[in-house]
Amino acid sequence: MIKLFIDTISDVLSNILGDISSSFDKDHSVNAEFGNPNKLISKRNKGWVIDGVRALDMETSRRNLCVVAGSGKGKSQNHVFTSIMNCISSSMVINDNSSELSATLPYLESQGVSTKVMNLVRKENVYINPLDGCNGNVAAMRKIAKTLMGNAAKENDFFSISGEDCITIFIQHVLESEPRINANLGNVYRLILEFQGNPKVIESYMADKASDAVWTKFKALAGNSEKTLKSITSTAISALSWLGDNPVLADLTSVSNISFEDFRKSPTCLFIQSPASDSKFYAPMVSLVFQSFYRYAFSRLPEENDLDIMMILDEFSSLIDGLSDYSQIISNSRKFRIPQAIFLQDESLLSPYKELKDNILANCYVKCYYGGQDKKAFELEKLLGSYSYVDGSSGQTKSRPLMYASEIREMDDEILVITNGQKPIKVRTKPAYKQSKLRKRLAMELDTEVQEEPMDYNIQYIDLSPYKDEIKDKNVEPNNSVTDGQGTLQ
């Protein structure tokens, strides 16, 4: 209570001093000027942290944040670590490429947050099947197939589109006709692989098990010429091989052992970890996990007592291929209370979204820019505008930009904060490692006595042996057959 009172008094004094200071500023006849940071951010707020200390309120956080900073500029220390430790009254899903963000785990657990780690290299305690929630939703199935194909083929040619169709057919089949334990991408990969090598086995299997709708689509696929069919299945296999040939990923995506509903009911935090050196390889998997959360989050409007689910998309560029509809996601995130924080080294990394790039940035109500960016510095100079003033020595009226591009490039411990429709602000940052309280939180260790043992579950593959035996029996010639050189005689 005392701390809250002190913070409140501090904010009030800062506002008063800021207003007094502005009254003694240069005589602006052009209205370019910096706004008062205290009107946007405060130590009391529980949203996205902006300067390492002060944060946005939740209503503003729901309108999304974009941070643009080159490598090593401090976005993790100023925004990511601090936001994770600040947003403990909400739930979070975190893209933790380097696994360094999990240093916040002990503090989160000490505050009663339920923490979960999905490590894509080794089995921890989180398994997520990307196909869960897709049964009866062909659009969701196709979105998964498109994500898989988008990471394997950069052009929408005949074979990539047909490969996408092939994957969708088999996804629909395992969801409709197989037990839930077999309805996963590992089995989709195995079925397509078998279809390429032994098409008659899969034709017999599908004839026995497929629904009428899937059987019709499968017959159309199988009706292609042998050469064309081989090319289609090869394309589909290449889009799934990163998972199908990786036993750990096949296991991790075979079942789900967490409930997304828990994220709305009590503070829950999921870290999705993959090696930074192999981020391109694991990008499809990370994207599929985020897709699963978005599919749930958009399935219904949250109730009044439901928690926000904060999405911390560090190294966002690694997720772009798998989130082709992100423009639509971020446009609707506020209504569904899933605040987005995207972190980029440069805005140009959004170029794969083409004309939708501007929509994504426009839906980030608050944007933070660090120094060291050449091209963006010139854009920001124009965006900030100019002001005119009376020179004290000559008495002449002069004009200059609020900040020159060179001044923006040379910013070190300061950032520019651009808020849609509001005056820009410039704030000094204080990274987590310079704050004794946060250093202690990050130095905390997990209680090994209460840690769960890693869960070890293996994927259950569909048994195709009856269909292989059936085809084998059909190919065996009767023992009493003889050949006269021209044909078989009985």
End-to-end CA distance of the chain: 98
Q: Which residues neighbour 153 within 8 Å (Cβ) at sequence distance 6 or greater? A: 159, 160, 163, 235, 238, 239
Distance in angstroms (rounded) separating the CA atoms of residues 58 and 43: 13
Question: Reduced to 3 states, what is the DSSP secondary structure of residue 273?
Answer: strand
The mean per-residue pLDDT over the stretch 70-81 comes to: 92
Looking at residue 20, its pLDDT comes to 41
Mean pLDDT lowest among 74-88, 315-329, 465-479:
465-479
Is 29 a residue whose pLDDT tops 50?
A: no
Is 296 a residue whose pLDDT tops 60?
A: yes
Looking at residue 470, its pLDDT comes to 86
Is 480 a residue whose pLDDT tops 50?
A: no
Return the structure tokens found at 181: 């334990």
Q: Would you mind telling me the total number of residues written for the chain in this entry? A: 490
Is 42 a residue whose pLDDT tops 80?
A: yes
Is 490 a residue whose pLDDT tops 70?
A: no
Write the single-letter amino acid at 386.
S
Looking at residue 10, its pLDDT comes to 55
Mean pLDDT is highest, among 150-159, 163-172, 444-453, for 163-172
Looking at residue 22, its pLDDT comes to 42
Is 6 a residue whose pLDDT tops 80?
A: no
In angstroms, the Cα distances linking 160 to 132, 238, 453 are 24, 10, 42
Choose among 131, 74, 409: nearest CA to 256.
Answer: 131
Boundaries of every domain in the chain: 2-128+256-442, 138-251+460-489
Handedness of CA 192, 197, 201, 207 (dihedral sign): positive
The mean per-residue pLDDT over the stretch 261-269 comes to: 96
- Taking only the tens place, the pLDDT of each residue in 355-367 is 999 999 999 999 9
- Taking only the tens place, the pLDDT of each residue in 348-357 is 999 999 999 9
Q: Which residues pair with 341 in a beta bridge?
A: 65, 312
The mean per-residue pLDDT over the stretch 166-177 comes to: 97
Distance in angstroms (rounded) separating the CA atoms of residues 38 and 138: 48
* Residue 486: pLDDT band with limits 50, 70, 90: very low
Whole-number mean pLDDT of the chain? 87
- Taking only the tens place, the pLDDT of each residue in 176-230 is 999 999 999 999 999 999 999 999 999 999 999 999 999 999 999 999 999 999 9
Handedness of CA 287, 289, 292, 293 (dihedral sign): negative
Is 262 a residue whose pLDDT tops 50?
A: yes
199 with 233: CB under 8 angstroms? no
Q: Which percentage of the chain shows pLDDT scores above 70? A: 89
Phi/psi at 384 (nearest 5 deg)? -70, -25
Distance of CA 61 to the CA centre of its chain: 17
Is 420 a residue whose pLDDT tops 90?
A: yes
Q: Alpha helices of 178-320 — where are they, by DSSP H?
A: 185-197, 199-209, 212-222, 226-244, 247-252, 261-265, 279-297
Is 2 a residue whose pLDDT tops 70?
A: no
The mean per-residue pLDDT over the stretch 422-445 comes to: 95
Q: How big is the CA angle at 107 (ends 103 and 112), to the nearest 5 degrees?
A: 135
- Give pTM, 2 decimals: 0.84
Is 30 a residue whose pLDDT tops 50?
A: yes
- Taking only the tens place, the pLDDT of each residue in 102-131 is 999 999 999 999 999 999 988 888 999 999
In angstroms, the Cα distances linking 177 to 126, 181, 210, 252 are 26, 11, 6, 22
Choose among 431, 449, 438, 445: nearest CA to 105.
Answer: 445
DSSP 296-310: HHTSSPPPTTPPPEE
CATH superfamily of 2-128+256-442: P-loop containing nucleotide triphosphate hydrolases (3.40.50.300)
Looking at residue 27, its pLDDT comes to 41
* Residue 166: pLDDT band with limits 50, 70, 90: very high
* Residue 23: pLDDT band with limits 50, 70, 90: very low
